[in-house]
Structures are given as structure tokens and as C-alpha cells.
Amino acid sequence: MDNTYDFIERLSTKEPTPGGGGASALLGAVSAALCRMVANLTSGKKKYAQYQEDIERIIKNTDFEKKVFLALIDKDAEGFYPLSRAYSIPKDEPGRAEILEQALVVASQTPLEILKECDKLLGMLEELTKKGSVLAVSDVGVAAAACRAAADGAALSVYANTKLMKNREQADGLNEQTMAYQRRCRDVCDKVYDVVFGKMGL
């Protein structure tokens, strides 16, 4: 991905990519980066010394996840390209339906990957509400909100493709996987957000 400003500028145009999938991956990267920031702010503090090993693990894992999410921005664009080409094939051209069907399957894969990566952040989000610096707890809440948005957005990208598939068995299988990840992300992220909100003392 180019720098964030360029990405946002391209996102605002009528070009087919980047789109919702890429935006969801960016939100995932934001969530991972915020988790890493909180962990970095906690690392080495005497008050949290008992959690130092866990914090170092979170720093390492979230750095990896951040990079994965950023790579998925470009991967989503690559996965959508065959679908955009398939839509341009004349409707009466032989083989169009098969090409379109396969392109829909391909275009569903990266959003599903985004959901799987969001799922990997959930345990760390929960940990940081207990082990992260209290001075940065609000950032854990922001990370949870970003993670939920990433998961919901990625799920919509899957559903947009499966809705058009002729092979309903395959579509239903993809939908089932997607809904499971989406429900878990929603449940955990909402729980984390509520915990953080409670710590605000309002």
C-alpha cells in the first residue's frame, strides 16, 4: 500500500479499488497498531512488571498482525480485479457465467482472511484491558471499535459476493464461516469497549 493519504484519496474516487475490503483491512491495521502502542506504553513499567512477558508477546504479535493487514489491502484489490473484469464481459458471451462465478469466489477470499486476522486480535484486546497501562486504556477501546468495524466491513464484502453466486452450497459455506467470525468479533469487541467505557468513570 502507498501512504495513507494516497490510499484515502484513491478510496474516494470512482475506481473499483480500493474499496470496502481494503478499507476494512486498514481498520484492522489501525486496531493492531493501537494494541501495539498500548503494549509499548506498558512495557518496562514497574507497576506492570508481572505482565512484562505477556506484553512483549503482544508487541511482537501485533507488529506481525499490522503488517498482515496492510498486505491484505493490496491483496483485496488484486482479488477484486478479476471480478471487475468479469462484469465487463457481455452477458450473452459463452462462459461468462462460469468466469463470473469463479471471480466471485476469489473476491470473497481476502475479506474472509481479514475476518480471520481480526479474530487473532481479540485475545490481545481482552488482555490489554487488564494488563495494559491504565493511562492508555481508552486506546484499547478505540482498538476494539476499529477491530469490530474491520470485521463488519469485511463480512459485508463477503456477503456482497456470495449473494450473487449460483452455487448456493458454496455460498452458504462461506456465509457460515463469515457469520461465525463476525459474531465472535462483535461479541468480544463490544465487551472490551464496555469494559473500557466503565473504566472512564462516567
Count structural domains, the chain: 1
With cut-offs at 50, 70 and 90, classify the pLDDT of residue 90.
confident
Residue 7 lies in a domain: no
| pLDDT of res. 194 | 97
| pLDDT of res. 16 | 82
Helix (H) or strand (E) holding 30: helix 20-42
Contact present, 66 and 29 (Cβ < 8 Å)? yes
Q: Rounded to 5 degrees, what are φ and ψ at 14?
A: -90, 5
Mean pLDDT rounded to a whole number for the chain: 95
Residue 9 lies in a domain: no
With cut-offs at 50, 70 and 90, classify the pLDDT of residue 2.
low
Residue 3 lies in a domain: no
Q: Global pTM?
A: 0.93
| pLDDT of res. 37 | 98
Alpha-carbon span 113 to 109, nearest angstrom: 6
Residues 29-47 pLDDT 10s: 999 999 999 999 999 999 9
pLDDT at position 1 over 80: no
Residue 6 lies in a domain: no
Residue 104 lies in a domain: yes
**Residue 70: domain span:** 16-199
Contact present, 39 and 83 (Cβ < 8 Å)? no
Q: Among 15-24, 106-115, 120-129, 177-186, which stretch is predicted with the lowest mean pLDDT?
A: 15-24
| pLDDT of res. 5 | 87
Alpha-carbon span 118 to 112, nearest angstrom: 10
Residue 4 lies in a domain: no
First to last CA, the chain: 40
Residue 1 lies in a domain: no
Residues 139-170 pLDDT 10s: 999 999 999 999 999 999 999 999 999 999 99
User: What is the residue whose three cell numbers read 452450497?
Assistant: 169
CATH number of the domain within which 128 lies? 1.20.120.680
